[in-house]
């Protein structure tokens, strides 16, 4: 989709779909202007709908005998309360209404005066991401027509076009993440993730190292390898690196949980556990893949970014791990596996040890780690656990910029006792209450003390059944935009 800024007014623009944000009680009289422009009895029709401009209101009509094909009005709510998120929602609603029409889409919204470029980016991302559809698995793909050109109408200050350059790489990253998550587990396997990494490395000049099973054995990754003992698929430990062309001021590590399928193992997922959705258990890895794709294109200065994914499947056969097995992670910690379904943390443990050995300035992991996080925060907000206030604030601000829900949760060390094992250094699973907290505390054991680390549980946000805002039903690509925002924020301060 081609995206541009245009100084045209709604009265003068001509193209396919003209979409206008209308605040409650329309102080700008846009409706009256459109009435004149298209010679319509618009206000009478809107009264009847009823459309008052409140948030969620939408009116769309086909125009005959005009130089535009359709007019879309999106309610913005109280003019005084319009913020970046309401612009995002309005842009997404306009895009959904324009879906099905080809040609150009114009979007006219009340762009904020303090950061119009930020508003433009938010709206453009929302449009492109709302129009995403996935026909890869249809035998006869029948793509619907959809606008291939977006014009943002407004009185733009000079010189902000450069800021828009990030939109396409970031959206491509989100779309890559969505594709990886949505693809079934017989298509996205650990080897396929490694192939994706190889293609990213080749196309975008990243450095790639893939550790095979024997390499992981040599490194003593007994925790990671225990998870795939019952699977016919080889594990892949994937390490992608972005190196800036200038001096490195900060080294960051992004770690993603990469379970291409989680059956639960001998603690098999039964009943309401939704085993059929456990293809999305590589959502953390999809997010870091998507972020790396964007970062590789945006080439931030001064930051070196590493991506680590310990990918495998959690399956059952005669070699599968027994509930009760004791394994040893690569830092020497012994773990009693009292629940084979708490497998994500076992894979992350060895990835976090490896991450720590890179001596980074920060480590952030993303994982569909616990059902308890979904119970706590639902599907619009991911949980953030970190002992580092600076890193937490930077991530919260990156998420807020990106419009992705993120809420800091307690990393309450007293719950660590829930992981005490009679025989080994620790168990992999604590009691059900506070299950997301003990999961985070388990991970913390594998991060070298002193390295700022944050864990983001995306079990709820990785997927939406019904679709919401800029996410059509299915995989959301959650996390890509937050991670890219965060990495870019580190780049701009890196030289300071
Ligand atoms: N992949 C699941 C977490 C999950 C559950 C994600 C539901 C999305 C929706 C994870 O591996 C898991 O099974 N966690 C267990 C942990 C428990 C055994 C301590 C859980 O949450 O039930
Ligand atoms: Mn599990
Ligand atoms: Zn899992």
Give 285-309 pLDDT, tens digit per residue.
999 999 999 999 999 999 999 999 9
CB 191 less than 6 A from any atom of ligand 1: no
CB 371 less than 6 A from any atom of ligand 1: yes
- Say how many Å lie between the CA of residue 227 and the centre of ligand 1: 14
Least confident of 63-67, 254-258, 261-265, 429-433: 63-67
Top mutation candidate among 370, 376, 439, 440 for ligand 1, by most atoms within 8 Å of CB? 370
Strand order in the sheet with 405-408: 207-211, 236-242, 303-314, 250-262, 362-367, 453-457, 381-386, 405-408
Single out the residue of 443, 475, 486 nearest to residue 136, CA to CA: 475
pLDDT of residue 493 exceeding 60, the answer is no
- The per-residue pLDDT for 163 is 85
- Cα–Cα distance, 322 to 345 (Å, whole number): 16
Which residue shows structure tokens 């993603």?
A: 256
| Six token digits for residue 425 | 């250094």
- The per-residue pLDDT for 27 is 65
Average pLDDT in the 431-442 region?
A: 98
pLDDT of residue 492 exceeding 90, the answer is no
pLDDT of residue 55 exceeding 60, the answer is yes
Given pLDDT bands bounded at 50, 70 and 90, which one contains residue 29? confident
- Per-residue pLDDT reduced to its tens digit, 309-334: 999 999 999 999 999 999 999 999 99
CB 368 less than 6 A from any atom of ligand 1: yes
CB 434 less than 6 A from any atom of ligand 1: no
pTM check: above 0.85: yes
CB 263 less than 6 A from any atom of ligand 1: no
pLDDT of residue 494 exceeding 60, the answer is no
Top mutation candidate among 224, 349, 371 for ligand 1, by most atoms within 8 Å of CB? 371
Label the pairing between strands 381-386 and 453-457.
Answer: antiparallel
C-alpha torsion angle, residues 305, 310, 312, 315 (rounded to 10): -140
Given pLDDT bands bounded at 50, 70 and 90, which one contains residue 28? low
CB 120 less than 6 A from any atom of ligand 1: no
- Cα–Cα distance, 422 to 426 (Å, whole number): 8
| Ligand 1 atom closest to 460 (CA) | 8
C-alpha torsion angle, residues 142, 103, 404, 298 (rounded to 10): 100
Q: Which of 257, 269, 444, 481 is catalytic?
A: 269
Least confident of 23-37, 73-87, 461-475: 23-37
- Per-residue pLDDT reduced to its tens digit, 255-268: 999 999 999 999 99
pLDDT of residue 496 exceeding 80, the answer is no
- Return the biggest CA–CA distance within the chain: 81
- Per-residue pLDDT reduced to its tens digit, 201-222: 999 999 999 999 999 999 999 9
- Per-residue pLDDT reduced to its tens digit, 98-108: 999 999 999 99
- Per-residue pLDDT reduced to its tens digit, 119-157: 999 999 999 999 999 999 999 999 999 999 999 999 999
- Say how many Å lie between the CA of residue 32 and the centre of ligand 2: 57
Q: How far is CA 479 from CA 95, 157, 177, 284, 475, in A?
A: 22, 30, 9, 8, 12
- The per-residue pLDDT for 25 is 77
CB 344 less than 6 A from any atom of ligand 1: yes
pLDDT of residue 495 exceeding 50, the answer is no
Annotated catalytic residue 269: yes
**306 neighbors 496 (Cβ within 8 angstroms):** no
**419 neighbors 329 (Cβ within 8 angstroms):** no
Average pLDDT in the 21-40 region?
A: 88
pLDDT of residue 274 exceeding 90, the answer is no
pLDDT of residue 59 exceeding 80, the answer is yes
Q: How far is CA 149 from CA 46, 245, 479, in A?
A: 28, 33, 26
Annotated catalytic residue 345: yes
- The per-residue pLDDT for 273 is 73
- Rg of the chain over Cα atoms, rounded to whole angstroms, equals 24
DSSP string for residues in 359-396: --SEEEEEE---HHHHHHHTTTEEEEEES-HHHHHHHH
Top mutation candidate among 266, 341, 345, 439 for ligand 1, by most atoms within 8 Å of CB? 341
- Cα–Cα distance, 289 to 398 (Å, whole number): 18
């Amino acid at each position: 989709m081609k995206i541009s800024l245009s100084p045209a007014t709604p009265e003068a623009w001509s193209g396919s779909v003209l979409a206008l944000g209308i605040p409650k009680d329309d102080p700008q009289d846009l409706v009256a202007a459109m009435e004149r422009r298209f010679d319509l009895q618009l206000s009478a029709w809107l009264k009847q709908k009823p459309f008052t401009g409140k948030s969620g209101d939408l009116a769309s009509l086909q125009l005959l005998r005009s130089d535009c094909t359709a007019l879309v009005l999106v309610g913005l709510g109280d003019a005084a309360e319009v913020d970046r998120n309401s612009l995002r929602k309005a842009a997404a609603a306009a895009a959904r209404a324009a879906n099905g029409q080809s040609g150009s889409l114009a979007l006219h919204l009340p762009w904020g005066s303090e950061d119009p470029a930020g508003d433009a980016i938010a709206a453009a991302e929302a449009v492109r991401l709302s129009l995403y559809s996935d026909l890869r698995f249809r035998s006869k793909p029948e793509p619907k027509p959809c606008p291939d050109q977006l014009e943002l109408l407004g009185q733009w200050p000079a010189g902000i076009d450069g800021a828009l350059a990030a939109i396409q790489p970031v959206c491509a990253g989100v779309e890559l993440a969505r594709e990886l998550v949505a693809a079934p587990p017989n298509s996205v396997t650990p080897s396929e993730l490694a192939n994706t990494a190889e293609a990213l490395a080749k196309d975008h000049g990243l450095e790639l190292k893939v550790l095979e099973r024997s390499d992981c054995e040599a490194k003593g990754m007994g925790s990671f390898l225990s998870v795939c003992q019952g699977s016919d698929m080889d594990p892949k430990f994937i390490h992608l690196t972005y190196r800036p062309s200038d001096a490195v001021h900060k080294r960051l590590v992004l770690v993603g949980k990469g379970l291409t399928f989680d059956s639960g193992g001998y603690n098999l997922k039964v009943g309401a556990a939704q085993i059929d959705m456990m293809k999305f258990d590589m959502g953390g890895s999809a997010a870091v893949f998507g972020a790396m794709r964007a970062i590789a294109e945006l080439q931030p200065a001064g930051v070196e970014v590493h991506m680590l994914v310990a990918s495998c499947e959690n399956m059952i056969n005669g070699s599968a791990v027994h509930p009760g097995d004791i394994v040893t992670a690569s830092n020497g910690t012994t773990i009693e596996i009292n629940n084979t379904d708490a497998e994500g943390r076992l894979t992350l443990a060895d990835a976090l040890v490896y991450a720590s050995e890179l001596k980074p300035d920060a480590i952030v992991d993303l994982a569909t780690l616990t059902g308890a996080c979904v119970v706590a925060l639902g599907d619009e907000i991911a949980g953030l656990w970190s002992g580092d206030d600076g890193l937490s604030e930077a991530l919260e601000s990156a998420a807020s910029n990106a419009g992705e829900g993120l809420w800091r949760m307690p990393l309450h060390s007293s719950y660590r006792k829930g992981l005490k094992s009679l025989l080994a250094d620790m168990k992999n699973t604590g009691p059900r209450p506070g299950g997301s907290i003990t999961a985070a505390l388990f991970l913390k054991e594998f991060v070298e003390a002193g390295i700022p680390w944050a864990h983001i549980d995306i079990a709820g946000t990785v997927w939406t059944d019904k679709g919401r805002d800029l996410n059509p039903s299915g995989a959301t690509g959650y996390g890509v935009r937050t991670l890219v925002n965060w990495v870019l924020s580190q780049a701009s301060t890196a030289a300071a």
